[in-house]
Structure 1
């Protein structure tokens, strides 16, 4: 279904993991894409794989306000409009308790996972007002229920959930919808890095399968399908929603990863 036909979507972190699956889903749905990433290698791989004039790849750090403004300007220069922003870029390192987390690590997590939404919104809002567009944030189930030895990351995702709801209220008068997806485990490079930081990495796979009521840890395509729905007109009366895409993990997620 071409549910995003002729829509222009700015997608951060769109060259790996969930973001890459969203890139593929949005393209199949007919969207033009401005993909923002700070990883030059993954940008090169994405460019070679896509080879599509409907896709603009921009190298930028989403924690840098000036770089984000330049990315939005490049998007408008290329496509002439902006219909949606998907704030997907994020980091999860380090996997530590609060007292073990350095100030620099704490700040970087919040700059990338939370303040980047501030940057994209400030830069893109005038264009979204013109298109009566939408904003989608990639959150996490841990933002609601917490996660052991992952305090700062969980805090950023809790902030994303609260921010999503506040933005939905602020921008509803302009016809702009704001929602978020909240995955549990998803088999991405970031999750595999997290697994290696655990007390017993060898048990991570069985743990990740076990926390989901449906019995397995999914790939990023299941999240991309939910994101596609929320950005499309099929979700035209949904705003302020934090949608769990979690295989029922919230029903029993507080299991301990044993050392």
Structure 2
């Protein structure tokens, strides 16, 4: 198995892309610690994956909670081989000038500041294991997106962070990469789609923005993340890996 006995900490791991990654990591032999603020979903995920893995309620934008969670993982497993910074929020959907200060700060705190926190507190363990970091970015970091300026700004920041962190931590043998999906069917996207006046039209649009012809489930992102975490990617660092069915070549609509 590609990830046998590796200890992987994943934020936002209780649903969506995060939980698909959790299942893929476990399938490849990893021990996984899920950090998530959604207690109900966290409990549900832990009920499915079993007690050999660790579920920690954690607001990743809160320094004390991240510090305590990393310490708990180390106490439980004795090591950390990977931090997957996956937690993120996308709201609000509005232009920049309509975004409130509180909305801006929430996006920056959850999507970007959390990466600073996990890195700060997990770095000594990653130095010891010569581990890796994976950040969940998005295609919109490169392409932009109407009515999502604050969100796209956080994803652009993640790309820049990924490259700079890769340079900083290469000396320790730590690899840092990011995965950049386009559209992905998650519970959040399905809920949003169901609320639209033309649900069928929205689904057709989401299929058509991907040149390969369909909007994927989160498992395709998880497979890419397994590769980035594994020794198969041992000479890959500073990479922003697009997993968008060709959407990075330009949306067809």
TM-score of the two chains, using structure 1 as the length reference: 0.94
Query: Contact (CA 8 Å) 1:181, 1:226: kept in 2 or not?
Result: yes
Q: Distance in 2 between matches of 1:208 and 1:82?
A: 37
Query: Contact (CA 8 Å) 1:93, 1:194: kept in 2 or not?
Result: no
Give 1:135-174 correspondences, 5 Å limit. 135-174=133-172
Q: Which residue of 1 aligns with 2:114?
A: 116
What stretches of structure 1 of length at least 5 have no aligned partner?
A: none
User: 94, 99, 116: which is aligned to 1:101?
Assistant: 99
Greater shift after overlay, 162-171 or 200-209? 200-209
Deviation of residue 195 (structure 1)? 3.9
Count of equivalent residues: 253
Query: Contact (CA 8 Å) 2:211, 2:252: kept in 1 or not?
Result: no
Deviation of residue 180 (structure 1)? 0.1
Is 1:36–2:23 an aligned residue pair? no
Q: Distance in 2 between matches of 1:83 and 1:7?
A: 6
Give 1:231-246 correspondences, 5 Å limit. 231-246=229-244
Give 1:52-71 correspondences, 5 Å limit. 52-53=51-52, 55-71=53-69
Q: Distance in 1 between matches of 2:207 and 2:252?
A: 14
C-alpha offsets along residues 133-154 of structure 1, whole Å, 9 cap, x if unaligned? 0000000000011011111111
TM-score of the two chains, using structure 2 as the length reference: 0.96
Q: Distance in 1 between matches of 2:191 and 2:112?
A: 21
Deviation of residue 83 (structure 1)? 0.5
Query: Contact (CA 8 Å) 1:114, 1:156: kept in 2 or not?
Result: yes
CA RMSD of aligned residues (A): 1.4
Deviation of residue 190 (structure 1)? 2.5
Q: Which residue of 2 aligns with 1:188?
A: 186
Deviation of residue 189 (structure 1)? 1.9
Q: Which residue of 2 aligns with 1:228?
A: 226
What stretches of structure 2 of length at least 5 have no aligned partner?
A: none
Q: Distance in 1 between matches of 2:31 and 2:18?
A: 15
